[in-house]
Structure 1
């Protein structure tokens, strides 16, 4: 059973602009330490950050709270499995809210094209996160 769905699209040039104005402080605000370490090794930092930004926005929408009620950027972490599939991990308040709603699985799809990054998140009952 679907508990929540969310999607978000980000213009990569918008992230380029924010990074040029605010530097790594913006990335540190959005990314977990694990994600930030991966960010530092990327050639196209803006594209990497745009995809993570879209994924976290989509997750907050799927949760039904957005970034309110104590939910923060750091509550969501995107990692890739051994095949490169993106996986969404929840922590803190986001994890608590997800459990209260009876969601046991998260499903994440991320895509990007020249100018845009998009993410789609589904929270469903039972099972484990994918």
Structure 2
């Protein structure tokens, strides 16, 4: 390991599940849901939840710079599915971050390894 690798703890986690849903392009008769919703077949991406608008228009102008895809569940903040997250780390105290953890544990583990905040610290 280089001196740089022994002085820095790098942590990578995948904290959020995808809020996008992708659909294949099918004819209206093969995809009755889109036909019933009156959505153009070219619009194959939609947001499950986000700060997007709720209304679906027959002809959406996707070329506009301020275009926002419709959301199935419009929210004013992001949500998390509650699943465990995979964590990968390298550097000092990286042995603490191996495997899958509840997301709420990570800040406490990072504070412990960094010797910051309240509570137990690695440097105590």
Q: Taking structure 2 as the reference length, what is the TM-score of the superposition? A: 0.28
Higher RCO (CA-CA < 8 Å; seq separation 6+): 1
Give 1 or 2: higher strand fraction. Answer: 1
Larger Rg: 2
Q: Taking structure 1 as the reference length, what is the TM-score of the superposition? A: 0.27
Give 1 or 2: higher helix fraction. Answer: 1
